Amino acid sequence: MKYIILGIAFFACLHGATAQLKGVVFSHSADPNQKIPIYNAKVRLIQSGEGAYTEEDGTFELILPKILPDTMVISAIGFTSDTIIVTKKDRFAGFQITLYSDQLLPEIVVAAKRSSHSILRLKTLLVENISSDELKKAACCNLSESFETNASVDVNITDAVSGAKKIQMMGLDGVYTQIQFENIPYLRGLESSFGLNSMPGTWVESIQITKGTGNVVNGYESMAGLVNIELKKPEEMERVFVNGYVNRFGRGEINFNSGFRLGKKWSTGWFAHASIVPFEVDENKDGFRDIPNGSNLAVFNRYHYQGKKMEAQLGFNAYWDQRLGGQTSFDGTNFASAYGVLIDSKHIDAFAKTGFFLKKPLHSIGVVYNVKYQTVNANFGLHEFTGSEKRGYVNAIYDGIINNSTHKFKVGMSGVYSDIEQQMDSLNNDRLEIVPGAFGEYTFSGARLSAVVGLRGDYHNIYGFQYAPRVHLKYSFTERLDVRATVGKGWRVPNYMIDNISLLATGRSWIAPDTISPEISWNVGGSISQGFKLWKNAGSITADYFHTRFENQMIVDRDVNINAIVFNSLDGTSYSNSLQVELAYSAGKQIDVRFAYKWLDVKAMYGGILQTKVMVPVHRGFFNIGYTTRNKRWLADATVSVFGEARMPQNALPGGGVTTDEFSPVYPMISAQITHVLHAWEFYLGGENLGNFVQRDPIIDAQNPFSSTFDATRVWAPVVGMNIYAGFRFSIKQPKREVVPEL
């Protein structure tokens, strides 16, 4: 702790080295109590040439030059530009700027380019933003395919028979990454294994990826990182949006979105999705479906209310996912004669978010509510899993400032109710959890130094009191150089059955843990982000390193017993080291390129010794290039990922003996897409795994699926070859609301 205090003192000494100007840009409203921030407004100093763009909340910051006065120009599409003379008196000042609509004045067009993938510079934490434009670069039919052009998050196939996918961050399983839908817990409990397929990418407005433990306001389960999904907003989304997709394996999808206003204060958005895989695919001729057949239906409806003293959001989400895999001779009923996989997931949840504006400026109260019901029934051969979950969540936050906006605070209380029932063959893991909690967080926003310090405490009805302190720092050495540091604690209660349900696709028996206790980890790390200009074009290079060390962890041991999978509590050491370096550069207005390299060192006690976790590549290389024609009618994108060696689990072979391949080979993945824009239509054609790289014989002893040596979980690469897909997008924008300025 003394090193943290010394670090804060050091940065505080540097705080006054240079001057910084901050501000927020709003759009003019007839209602003086309603201030709507303008996103992506351009703020530029004419003499020095330096500038910035406003964030989602309308804020911006500039490092002032030594030579003053200078003229600051504020501009945004659809608004009349404004200018302010900045003098030495304005050093460390804050501005509130209001822009007026240009609808009643001569038209002014301001062209600006913003990367579809960026680091949010104003955030104290290391937050990576993926916009809807970035999601369009790939087929992006659901969340599991939304990270294909991203190096920070890996999406892995869990087995060769169910088609399930899981994310990884810092080499750690996705259960250690807290996933949220607009700050509401998402993909928790029974959703964690199959829920990635439940939300189409066409519903998503943006995704924020936070590395490290995140803020205490969001909960206690963020151990490796946090992924927040922002869906399209009713007042901003298309009046009509339709997306159709089909690929060479016969998979077809249709997505429909529609947003419209219900009077002056209410607006609503409707989202619908349907997909189907009707044809059998067995390209490697091993008698097993390479892609499970099945269908998915999802619907989402949300409402937004904007009043003078409060705003509110509410809605519901429901989906049904069914898939049939296993041997091609399996018809969904003949489990005794053919190895079959049958998975049925049903989900419904409702949410509400209310915010109240207090009379005291910049003070507010927000409350988030969420209830859900989930069922999962799954058969893997002769193994049967049944599960149901009832979950409730509430989070109340009081948000305010101390004297001025440099010092902010948040305090609040939360509550989690989870009634989960899990039965796998003769094993049972039913549990009722009630977890009330309280938290407090202080934010300092200086000219160069910003800090977020938080602490939360939660009381678990089974495991008692748990605490989670977190500290995040950012220091801007120059306008383009940011350094961040973070340290924090996270914890969660493992659900060893649903978390590892794909391991049912093996002939090994399960040995359940003697006791279950909370998993606890500490995460410490930092990053350096440097912006630059080369040939008058902007670029950035970001390097980050994070170390996660577990105090306690549920270990899934596939080394201690070759005939069984053993679940036990950590006895010894478990840690993860993650290093990533990424270079992004815009070569003019038409070409964007990104390079990334990631190194992972993930080890724990397996088979009684400290060794690398299985199925985690130590090295990964990444390259992405995007091209847009001058008239923006044609867009092309290509991504190349190279995955390094990964330690393989040792498996028994039929007739005696064990597998001899200790590591998987290095292999590439190549994808590309071209899009043509024609008025309200977009037509796209793309390919995945264009190198046609396929893992040979992904299933061990496929001829004897009911034997003890059968294993379909030893998957480290694609099990199907090149995929070609095509699709279209059609959209009609909402009519603009007429803004009449006050006289």
Among 468, 408, 461, CA closest to 431: 461
At residue 47, the pLDDT reads: 78
Name the pLDDT band for 742 (thresholds 50, 70, 90): very low
Average pLDDT of every residue of the chain: 89
How far is it, in rounded angstroms, from Cα 209 to Cα 220?
17
How far is it, in rounded angstroms, from Cα 260 to Cα 196?
28
At residue 416, the pLDDT reads: 97
At residue 109, the pLDDT reads: 45
CB atoms within 10 A of CB 392: 14
At residue 737, the pLDDT reads: 56
Is residue 436 within 8 Å of residue 511, measured between CB atoms?
Answer: no
pLDDT tens-digit series, residues 589-621: 889 999 999 999 999 999 999 999 999 999 999
- Token pair of 624 as six digits: 């992405």
Q: What is the dihedral of CA 38, 42, 43, 47, to 10 degrees?
A: -160
For residue 137, is it left (φ>0), alpha (ψ between -120 and 50) or beta?
alpha
Give yes or no for residue 276 having a pLDDT over 90: yes
Find the radius of gyration of the CA atoms of the chain.
Answer: 26
How far is it, in rounded angstroms, from Cα 358 to Cα 362?
8
How far is it, in rounded angstroms, from Cα 285 to Cα 698?
12
pLDDT tens-digit series, residues 415-459: 999 999 999 999 999 999 999 999 999 999 998 999 999 999 999
Q: Give the mean model confidence (pLDDT) for residues 169-197.
A: 90
- Token pair of 714 as six digits: 């030893």
At residue 65, the pLDDT reads: 78
Give yes or no for residue 18 having a pLDDT over 60: no
Distance of CA 142 to the CA centre of its chain: 12
**Who's near 472: CB < 8 A, 6+ residues apart?**
124, 125, 212, 215, 451, 452, 453, 484, 485, 486, 488
C-beta contacts of 621-625 below 8 A and 24+ residues apart = 621/596, 621/597, 622/151, 622/582, 622/594, 622/595, 622/596, 622/597, 622/598, 623/593, 623/594, 623/595, 623/596, 624/137, 624/149, 624/593, 624/594, 625/591, 625/592, 625/593, 625/594
Is residue 117 within 8 Å of residue 101, measured between CB atoms?
Answer: no
Q: For residue 719, what is the DSSP state?
A: S
| Domains present along the chain, CATH in parentheses | 2-99 (2.60.40.10), 117-732 (2.40.170.20)
Q: Give the mean model confidence (pLDDT) for residues 87-100.
A: 76
With residue 439 as reference, give the H or E element that holds it: strand 431-445
**Who's near 81: CB < 8 A, 6+ residues apart?**
73, 74, 75, 99, 108, 110
With residue 496 as reference, give the H or E element that holds it: helix 496-499
Is residue 708 within 8 Å of residue 648, measured between CB atoms?
Answer: no
How far is it, in rounded angstroms, from Cα 233 to Cα 61?
26
**Who's near 137: CB < 8 A, 6+ residues apart?**
116, 148, 149, 624, 626, 637, 639, 673
Q: Which residues pair with 636 in a beta bridge?
A: 627, 674
Is residue 396 within 8 Å of residue 364, measured between CB atoms?
Answer: no
**Who's near 74: CB < 8 A, 6+ residues apart?**
25, 41, 42, 43, 81, 82, 83, 84, 97, 99
Identify the three-state secondary structure at position 501.
helix
How far is it, in rounded angstroms, from Cα 118 to Cα 540?
9
Over pLDDT 70: what percentage of the chain? Answer: 93
Q: Give the mean model confidence (pLDDT) for residues 647-675.
A: 93
**Residue type, position 130, single letter:** I
- Token pair of 555 as six digits: 């270990």
At residue 536, the pLDDT reads: 84
Name the pLDDT band for 83 (thresholds 50, 70, 90): confident
Give yes or no for residue 734 having a pLDDT over 60: yes
Over pLDDT 90: what percentage of the chain? Answer: 69
Residue reference for tokens 């989670």: 468
**Who's near 640: CB < 8 A, 6+ residues apart?**
621, 622, 623, 624, 668, 669, 670
Q: Give the mean model confidence (pLDDT) for residues 138-144.
A: 75
Name the pLDDT band for 113 (thresholds 50, 70, 90): low
At residue 701, the pLDDT reads: 95
In this structure, the chain runs to a length of 743
At residue 67, the pLDDT reads: 77
Among 107, 56, 57, CA closest to 78: 107
Is residue 85 within 8 Å of residue 117, measured between CB atoms?
Answer: no
With residue 26 as reference, give the H or E element that holds it: strand 20-27
Q: Give the mean model confidence (pLDDT) for residues 368-377.
A: 97
Q: For residue 512, what is the DSSP state?
A: -
- Rounded to the nearest 5 percent, the helix, strand and coil shares of the chain are 5, 55, 40
Q: Give the mean model confidence (pLDDT) for residues 645-651.
A: 94
Report the b/e string of 295-304 with b at 16+ CB within 10 A: ebebbbbbbb
Phi/psi for 10 (5° steps) reads -60, -45
Q: Give the mean model confidence (pLDDT) for residues 505-531.
A: 95
CB atoms within 10 A of CB 361: 9
Give yes or no for residue 10 having a pLDDT over 50: no
**Residue type, position 264, single letter:** K
DSSP E strand boundaries for 535-563: 537-552, 554-557
Of 192-196, 322-326, 337-341, 500-504, minimum mean pLDDT range: 192-196
Name the pLDDT band for 232 (thresholds 50, 70, 90): very high
Q: What pTM value is reported for the model?
A: 0.83
- Token pair of 130 as six digits: 């993926």
pLDDT tens-digit series, residues 688-709: 999 999 999 999 999 999 999 9
At residue 62, the pLDDT reads: 81
Name the pLDDT band for 61 (thresholds 50, 70, 90): confident
Among 59, 38, 207, 39, CA closest to 124: 59
Q: How far is CA 480 from CA 82, 439, 634, in A?
A: 25, 33, 32
At residue 361, the pLDDT reads: 83
Name the pLDDT band for 117 (thresholds 50, 70, 90): confident
pLDDT tens-digit series, residues 543-557: 999 999 999 999 999
